[in-house]
Structure 1
Amino acid sequence: MTGDRIEDRAGPGDGWRAAAVVVAAGLQVGAGAVGGAGLWGEAVGEVARSYPTLLLPPGAAFAIWSLIYVAFAALAVRQALPGQRSRTVHRRSGWWLVVAGVLNATWVLLFAQRFVVPAQVVIVALLACLAVAAVRLRAPADGWADRLLLHLPVAVYLGWVAVAAVAGGATTTAAYGAAPTAPAAITALLFTGAAAAVAVARLPAVAGFAASVCWALGWIASGASVPSVRVAAIAAVLAVVVAVAVRLRRGPDPADVAWG
């Protein structure tokens, strides 16, 4: 049994936390369905396209939300099982994931109503919560179940939201008639790539994170109408790929061997 599996006696707080994670997973799915169909205000995609920027990826990129919701739901169900509730790793990350789920649902409802500034504040807060949850997972994964049903969902979620927060900032400025120029978009992309590369070197689980960051940046590159912006997005992807290669070459850190 690894250090991450050391358990204390289960308490009532574990049950409440586990239930809250399940509820947060449901909220995200519900809000995503409502926001995607435009049942509360306008469809999220329509709102985003009404404020075009050089950092807005094509619509196909957002299919990753289905993966995020399914993976988060799987995480929620597993952590609620009797044998999982009292694990230290869930106690350390659970409430942060609850807040993340609530923030995601809140973002959808705000953005659908074109409250773009509050929505941007919320997505930045969502990014912060996911980052804390990811860092608090810093412990050896207890087998493939942890890698696939704990580390991977959080890592993929964090990677996508990291880029979405940057793209959302561009959308927010565009909503006020100040869409980023090509130099500003290039700077934002290069900064995002550099920040993601640093995160790859430091996060306990990086495969899912790197994949979702590259997914988002790749779609931005494919949809960019300005060649220099496309090159910057590709350069950001390459920075992340190089960081992953360096991490693999270095080998897993004994303190955090989870690559899911």
Structure 2
Amino acid sequence: MTDTWRSGALVCAAVLQVLAGFVGGAGLWGESVGTVANSYPTLLLPAGAAFTIWSLIYAGFGALAIRQVVQRRRDVHRRTGWWLVAAGVLNATWILLFTNRLFLLAQLVIVGLLICLVCAALRLQPANGWADRLLLHIPVMVYLGWVAVATVAGAATTAAAFGAAPGITAAIVALALTGVGAALAVLRLPAVIGFAAAVCWALAWIAANTPTTWVQVTALAAIAAVALTAVIRIERRPNRSTIAWG
């Protein structure tokens, strides 16, 4: 019965995310996410095209949820399921808070979302073939990689909303720390490529959107650090496919 409740809750969380994303994107409850974010431009705001990754995240999360219904008794789903349910609920909550300009609450929620995704990622087990990689490991790791950078960008927006937008030095430090943190995470996480790709995607769109050369350079250096760390970790292990994809 517990497995049934968990798998059902995950499907509901997947649907809730999509509905909240639609509401937030269209500004049906409050303003749209884009309108609010652009009201407080910062040097760490990704260009609008970056947010197309949510389509991939939602599709992967939905596939993951459906597969867990079919395989609800697997230990890996028991280990990760409730953390992913919490992540889906927190993501939907963040959208509703952010679009109503409740920035401090929204920032606390996205930090909670990041924690839930880290816990889910660390509880993944070695994949049982490519189905596990495509329908569990990659969705979780891409989601985690994007939210890791979004948490930093959200903190900058929150600061800007209170009249303390980060200047050039603060933005450079934030990006450098993000790059270092993501590179260290690559050394620890069970599946490297999905996480690294999402982090690099987010950082690339920050570089594309910022008018400041040194912020661009720092973002590109962070991308290089994450990508190089991923390559080194994969190449130095005999089980390369497992390290790369889970």
Deviations 1:18-72 (A, max 9, x none): 0000000000000000000000000011000000000001100000001100000
Residue 108 (structure 2) aligns with: 121
CA distance in 2, matches of 1:96, 1:113: 26
CA distance in 2, matches of 1:47, 1:252: 47
Shift of 1:253: 5.7
| Greater helix fraction, Structure 1 or Structure 2 | 2
Shift of 1:251: 1.7
Deviations 1:97-150 (A, max 9, x none): 00000000000000010001100000000000000000000x210000000000
1:209-220 superposed matches below 5 A: 209-220=195-206
CA distance in 2, matches of 1:252, 1:33: 43
Residue 191 (structure 2) aligns with: 205
State whether structure 2 residue 124 is matched by structure 1 residue 176: no
CA distance in 1, matches of 2:179, 2:75: 32
Residue 100 (structure 1) aligns with: 87
CA distance in 1, matches of 2:214, 2:147: 24
Shift of 1:221: 0.6
Residue 235 (structure 2) aligns with: 249
Shift of 1:206: 1.2
Q: Which runs of 5+ in 1 are unaligned?
A: 1-11
Secondary structure of the 1:80 match is helix
Secondary structure of the 1:108 match is helix
Say whether the 8 Å CA contact 2:234–2:244 is kept in structure 1. Answer: no
Residue 47 (structure 2) aligns with: 58
Say whether the 8 Å CA contact 2:234–2:243 is kept in structure 1. Answer: no
Amino acid at match of 2:203: L
Q: CA RMSD in A?
A: 1.1
Residue 109 (structure 1) aligns with: 96
Residue 7 (structure 1) aligns with: none
TM-score by length of 1: 0.92
- Provide the aligned length of Structure 1 versus Structure 2: 245
TM-score by length of 2: 0.98
| Identity percentage of aligned residues | 66
Amino acid at match of 2:133: R
Decide whether aligned partners of structure 1 residues 157 and 16 sit closer, same or farther in structure 2, where only a CA change above 3 A counts. Answer: same
Say whether the 8 Å CA contact 1:140–1:257 is kept in structure 2. Answer: no
Residue 30 (structure 1) aligns with: 19
Decide whether aligned partners of structure 1 residues 212 and 252 sit closer, same or farther in structure 2, where only a CA change above 3 A counts. Answer: farther
1:21-170 superposed matches below 5 A: 21-81=10-70, 84-137=71-124, 139-170=125-156
Say whether the 8 Å CA contact 1:160–1:216 is kept in structure 2. Answer: yes
1:187-202 superposed matches below 5 A: 187-202=173-188
Say whether the 8 Å CA contact 1:147–1:258 is kept in structure 2. Answer: no
Amino acid at match of 2:79: R
Decide whether aligned partners of structure 1 residues 252 and 103 sit closer, same or farther in structure 2, where only a CA change above 3 A counts. Answer: farther
CA distance in 2, matches of 1:119, 1:140: 34
Say whether the 8 Å CA contact 1:156–1:209 is kept in structure 2. Answer: yes
CA distance in 2, matches of 1:57, 1:19: 34
- The runs of 4+ residues in structure 1 deviating greater than 6 Å are none
Amino acid at match of 1:92: R
State whether structure 2 residue 219 is matched by structure 1 residue 233: yes
Decide whether aligned partners of structure 1 residues 29 and 252 sit closer, same or farther in structure 2, where only a CA change above 3 A counts. Answer: farther
Shift of 1:257: 4.5
CA distance in 2, matches of 1:17, 1:258: 28
